[in-house]
Amino acid sequence: MIQPLQVTAVPAFADNYLWLIHDHQHAAVVDPGDAAPIEAALAAMHLKLAAILLTHHHGDHAGGVADLLKHWQVPVFGPAREKIAGISHPLVEGDSVALPALGLQLAVLDVPGHTAGHIAYVARQQHWLFCGDTLFAGGCGRLFEGTPAQMTDSLAKLAALPGDTLVYCAHEYTVSNLRFAVAAEPGNADVAQRLAKAMAARERGEATVPSTIGLEKATNPFLRYREPGIVQTLKAEGRLQQEEPVAAFAALREWKNSYR
């Protein structure tokens, strides 16, 4: 019997989520930074690994690939513009990934900014987004290798996806992101409400992800840097001289880097 596809979070390290896409028989793993929790999850759910998908080269996303390949002979999809050992299928925007074992098709987007060659995977039929460290619930990744202009373009591609798209990001950063979002846009009641909900979820030990593109557009300052409320805050904080969207985004990202 064919069962519908599911996405399961596998927690790893301090605050990473590794994602398993599975149909109760086969699984694809997104960003296996550590092989051990993935092997444990596969064994517990009696799943056969069918593919590995990577968004970028950071160790907490790709560090488990070599160990998984010792046990599983599977294709490794990943960014063509980054050097990651083990990639068998290098990808750029416009490519699509077919996973016949799961009956799943994924589209590839180039989303540079956090790293220079970062990619994201979109399951258009299911309305799922696997975006690594580009878009977070209530925030976005740090700009380690890219420019603010690249990151705003990348985030715009993600924001253009349907509002009900589930955002499977790679870290549980939501509460600290939303604390910053409240400071950046104090007049947005949806942000304050989302922070309260996220804090309650964490107290119950629940994950706050996936979120949705619609919720991110309503509450994530890194998608809302054009909003007058945010521009006004940046000016009041003395962080924005010229009123220009990419400058506002850059000022916001700078502020978040040191926000406690």
Return residues touching Zn ion (CB under 5 A).
58, 133
| Residue closer to Zn ion (CB basis): 58 or 194 | 58
Cα–Cα dist 97/107, whole Å: 6
Distances (CA, A) of 153 to 119, 163, 206, 246: 13, 18, 32, 10
Cα–Cα dist 227/245, whole Å: 9
| Residue closer to Zn ion (CB basis): 33 or 210 | 33
> Does the annotation count 60 as an active-site position?
yes
Among residues 22, 57, 118, 171, the one annotated as catalytic is 171
Smallest separation, CB 86 to Zn ion (Å) = 17
Smallest separation, CB 12 to Zn ion (Å) = 13
> Does the annotation count 58 as an active-site position?
yes
> Does the annotation count 127 as an active-site position?
no
| Residue closer to Zn ion (CB basis): 194 or 256 | 256
Nearest Cα residue to 135 out of 189, 187, 173: 173
Among residues 61, 67, 127, 190, the one annotated as catalytic is 61
Is the distance from CB of 225 to CB of 245 less than 8 angstroms? Answer: yes
Cα–Cα dist 60/229, whole Å: 35
Sign, CA torsion 88/140/110/121: positive
> Does the annotation count 114 as an active-site position?
yes
| Residue closer to Zn ion (CB basis): 117 or 221 | 117
Smallest separation, CB 97 to Zn ion (Å) = 20
> Does the annotation count 171 as an active-site position?
yes
> Does the annotation count 24 as an active-site position?
no
**First-to-final CA distance of the chain:** 51
Count of beta carbons in the 10 Å neighbourhood of residue 212: 18
State both tokens at 10: 């596998």
Smallest separation, CB 56 to Zn ion (Å) = 6
> Does the annotation count 153 as an active-site position?
no
Among residues 56, 57, 110, 118, the one annotated as catalytic is 56
Among residues 60, 95, 110, 127, the one annotated as catalytic is 60
**Which sequence positions are flagged as catalytic?**
56, 58, 60-61, 114, 133, 171
